[in-house]
Amino acid sequence: MNQVRNDIRNVAIIAHVDHGKTTLTDALLRQSGNFRDNQVQDTMLDSNPLERERGITILAKNVAINYTDPKTGETTKINLIDTPGHADFGGEVERVLGMADGCFLLVDAAEGAMPQTRFVLKKAFEHELHPIVVINKIDRQDARIDAVVNEVFDLFVELGANDEALDFPIIYASGRAGTASWKIDEPGTNINPIFEAIIKHVPAPHGDPDKSLQLQISSIQYNEYVGRIGIGRIYNGRVKTGQQVLLSKRDESLVKAKVGQLQSFDGFGKKNIDEAAAGDIVALIGLEGVDMGDCVCDATNPQPLKPLDVEPPTLTMLFSVNDSPFCGKEGKYVTSRNIRERLMKELESNVALKVEETGGKDSFKVSGRGLLHLGILIENMRREGFELSISKPQVIMQKDENGNTVEPFEYLVVDVPEKNMGAVMELVGNRKGELVRMDSRDGQNHLEFTIPARGLIGLRTRMLTATQGSAVMHHNFHEYAPPRGEVPGRQNGVMVSMTGGTANAFAMNNLQERGTLFIEPTQPVYEGMIIAENSRDNDMVVNPTTAKQLSNMRTTSSDEAIMLKPPRKMTLEAALEYIEDDELVEVTPTAIRLRKQYLTENERKKQGKKKAVAV
């Protein structure tokens, strides 16, 4: 018999990046009464060091709160799921929405509906969820609350919401202040309206605990001691510790497995339990070979659910062994065996990643959801002591049902001051972007484009340069469509070192007149290393190690002080966007360097001739 679990609420928090999901979750944890003040820190759920440094959520996380209603005295367990806001991790949002019965859609009171807002709302409707809209950051000076509410309503209509969904409840909140209110003209004093909305508007989970077991794995965690941990929601039936089950795989095959340990979420962590029933979100330990989207079924009467779709990767790059002259000087793990083992370990928990062997023994083709997705992996490997070389990112083309080649297009949103709008239009237009919508907001122009994913590689850095850092851009996957033609590459050439040694200030003083330096004096260099950007469109081979010749002649010009401009320091993502097809990014624990694929000038000329003959 189908039962409703009124003692549980499963709710996800979804939003565009930096609209305040994790901060609002902090406020809910602080005011829930479940934790001491010293247990809840700022952005508590962003436990990964990279998440704290970058201020973004990378992995979806579960936290359980026991909320006692002050009016009725009834206690409800709230399974709260904090999701990533960046487009590269949209797959995380898509999967965890299947575990929830309701969701909060957070929208910034100033920025309004953004590309990822559209994406997460569309996914919520696909899962038949009716979002509760939270207008967050209402204490911002540039807040435009009424206009943002209208934008959200228009977005609901555009995505085909029914009448029931259009009558969505609205809460006005400030996650940082820890307040929320049902009415904009009545300032909130605490976060209780959020809890009230969960109890009132999020449907209680339902299912039949007496039916055959149906548990969908929506998330995978990895532990060095117990291996893969499958996290999912029980839709029907019961599961116990030590129970024999069947795993229904994506290819519809059934694999025998045993539940070694059953855990439920409790506060920030998990606790061991003996049994769980329909409606619970649990973690299963000991299921060998468990994968994303698998369905855990009853061993005697399997009735598997439809497998979850994992979205295909859109970007690929080659991870190669570092073969530069500095190989092994800065890292601990430098061989192809080390890199292979690390990538295979990453596959255990990073389900949106794809790793393929190439023809060469020392390189691997790694595909992911975007530049940030792969950049996080590279940054983690770098911090663990790995050395490797990374090629230029390439967009993965697909074939449609008619056999025609199609490429991924992104929906790009740019907010820029009116005086810099021309530079943005020119940059995006050159990269085959098409303007979809434009409006003006208090001297700021809001531009929306569709653009090939190829055109986005390297666009952010150039746009910030062209607009003096005033442009704010966001993008999200839009659709697959026929290619729009060639996208221009980098406008400038580079300066390549012709020798190894130590960079000298005397030589660099002469070189800085011809371009922008990437290195500092006394920094070690090697032949084939890229040390600067040329002001012209051709590559130039230079010697950055030339020292000043000593002589017994004294002149005013020879003794003048050397004034070097500060070098351009590149982040990992900026370096990956900067390089061209014949260049690599050398990544080590202490440095990020740019280099040519072929280090010597003669080798580069040979390869250039081979390409010319092939054409």
pLDDT tens for 559-605 read 567 788 888 888 888 888 888 888 999 999 998 999 998 888 888 88
Contact 250, 208 (CB under 8 A): no
What CATH number does the domain located at 208-298 have?
2.40.30.10
Q: Region 16-25: what's the mean pLDDT?
A: 76
Nearest-angstrom CA–CA distance, 307 and 290: 13
Contact 476, 120 (CB under 8 A): no
pLDDT recorded at residue 38: 57
- Residue written as tokens 């999901």? 21
Q: Region 182-192: what's the mean pLDDT?
A: 84
Most confidently modeled range among 94-98, 158-162, 553-557: 158-162
At 85-108, the pLDDT tens digits run: 666 676 677 777 888 888 888 888
Q: Are strands 132-136 and 102-108 parallel, antiparallel or unpaired?
A: parallel
Q: Which of 473, 502, 478 is nearest to 413 (CA)?
A: 473
- Residue 308 DSSP class: P
What CATH number does the domain located at 3-203 have?
3.40.50.300
Predicted confidence (pLDDT) at residue 298 exceeds the cutoff of 70: yes
Exposure string (b/e) for 252-290, b if CB count within 10 Å is 16 or more?
A: eeeeebebeebbbbbebebeebeebbbbbbbbbbbbeeb
Exposure string (b/e) for 119-143, b if CB count within 10 Å is 16 or more?
A: bbbebbbeeebbbbbbbbbbeeeeb
Q: Region 465-470: what's the mean pLDDT?
A: 83
At 305-364, the pLDDT tens digits run: 887 766 778 889 999 999 899 888 888 988 989 999 999 888 877 777 888 888 777 889
Predicted confidence (pLDDT) at residue 615 exceeds the cutoff of 60: no
Residues pairing with 275 in the sheet: 240
Q: Region 104-118: what's the mean pLDDT?
A: 83
- Residue written as tokens 């999912």? 232
pLDDT class of 219 with cuts at 50, 70, 90:
confident
**Paired tokens of 59:** 């992995």
The CA radius of gyration of the chain, in Å to the nearest whole number, is 27
Contact 564, 555 (CB under 8 A): no
Domains 3-203 and 208-298 share a fold: no
At 241-266, the pLDDT tens digits run: 888 888 888 777 888 888 888 888 88
Q: Are strands 170-174 and 179-181 parallel, antiparallel or unpaired?
A: antiparallel
Q: Strand ranges (DSSP E) for 278-387?
A: 281-285, 295-298, 315-321, 354-357, 363-368
Q: Region 402-410: what's the mean pLDDT?
A: 86
Residue 322 CA, chain-centre distance (Å), reads: 26
Q: Region 491-508: what's the mean pLDDT?
A: 89
Q: Which of 538, 533, 537 is nearest to 511 (CA)?
A: 533
Q: Region 372-391: what's the mean pLDDT?
A: 89
198 — alpha (psi -120 to 50), left (phi > 0) or beta?
Answer: alpha
How far apart, in Å, are the Cα atoms of 380 and each of 352, 377, 431, 460? 16, 5, 31, 23
pLDDT class of 386 with cuts at 50, 70, 90:
very high
pLDDT recorded at residue 48: 61
Contact 94, 25 (CB under 8 A): no
Predicted confidence (pLDDT) at residue 41 exceeds the cutoff of 70: no
Q: Which of 52-56, 157-161, 497-501, 535-539 has the lowest mean pLDDT?
A: 52-56
Fold for 398-481, please state it.
Alpha-Beta Plaits (3.30.70)
Instruction: Please give the full DSSP string across 497-556, using - where no structure is assigned.
Output: ESS-EE--HHHHHHHGGGEEE-S-TT-EE-TTEEEEEESSSS-EEE-TTPPPPP-S---T
In the chain, the percentage of residues whose pLDDT exceeds 90 is 8
Q: Are strands 179-181 and 592-596 parallel, antiparallel or unpaired?
A: unpaired
Q: Region 180-194: what's the mean pLDDT?
A: 85
Q: What is the domain partition of the chain in residue ranges?
A: 3-203, 208-298, 398-481, 494-582+594-614
How far apart, in Å, are the Cα atoms of 339 and each of 357, 372, 412, 482? 12, 20, 34, 36
Q: Strand ranges (DSSP E) for 259-325?
A: 261-266, 269-273, 275-277, 281-285, 295-298, 315-321
What is the overall mean pLDDT for the chain? 83
Homologous superfamily of domain range 494-582+594-614: bipa protein (2.40.50.250)
Predicted confidence (pLDDT) at residue 612 exceeds the cutoff of 70: no
Contacts of 75 (CB under 8 A, 6+ apart): 7, 66, 67, 68, 69
pLDDT class of 530 with cuts at 50, 70, 90:
very high
Predicted confidence (pLDDT) at residue 268 exceeds the cutoff of 80: no
Predicted confidence (pLDDT) at residue 47 exceeds the cutoff of 60: no
Q: Which of 56-60, 110-114, 280-284, 374-378 has the lowest mean pLDDT?
A: 56-60
pLDDT class of 496 with cuts at 50, 70, 90:
very high
Which of residues 407 and 43 earns the better pLDDT score?
Answer: 407
Nearest-angstrom CA–CA distance, 319 and 342: 12
Contact 76, 7 (CB under 8 A): yes
Which of residues 187 and 93 earns the better pLDDT score?
Answer: 187
Q: Strand ranges (DSSP E) for 92-175?
A: 102-108, 132-136, 170-174
Nearest-angstrom CA–CA distance, 87 and 292: 20
At 476-492, the pLDDT tens digits run: 778 888 888 888 878 88
